[in-house]
Amino acid sequence: MNPGSERRGKATLADAIRVWLDQAGLAGTAKESRVLAAWARAAGATAKRARAVRFQRGVLTVEVSSSAVMQELAAFSGEALRKAANRALGGDRIDRIVYKQRV
């Protein structure tokens, strides 16, 4: 737990939940879910054609519906969506996006 978050010897609920998630091995899953949700919000209507499926070590993997969508995101709007998702997350969590076509 964060030393600065203790109040009169008591931990905050957020710290207790963080510890529980870490001990249960779910902390990474919770963080990944936040990133995937931030991408979906940032992508808006594009999320129907490009769905975030994985986040690991700063790399967001996005499955796209076609090579045209992949080209559009890689060349034009992908960087803006990455920045918008990072703003929603409150920091630079997504370093890079990898696009893969759904099969």
Domains of the chain: 11-101 (3.30.300)
The better pLDDT of the pair 7, 59 is held by: 59
Enumerate the H helices of 1-103 as residue ranges: 13-23, 27-43, 67-72, 78-89
Three-state SS at 29: helix
| 5 confidence band (pLDDT: 50, 70, 90) | very low
- Torsion sign over Cα 87, 91, 92, 94: negative
Mean pLDDT for the chain?
A: 84
Question: How far does CA 6 lie from the centroid of its chain?
Answer: 28
Running DSSP on this structure, what letter comes out for residue 65? S
93 to 13, 66, 102: CA distances (angstroms): 24, 26, 24
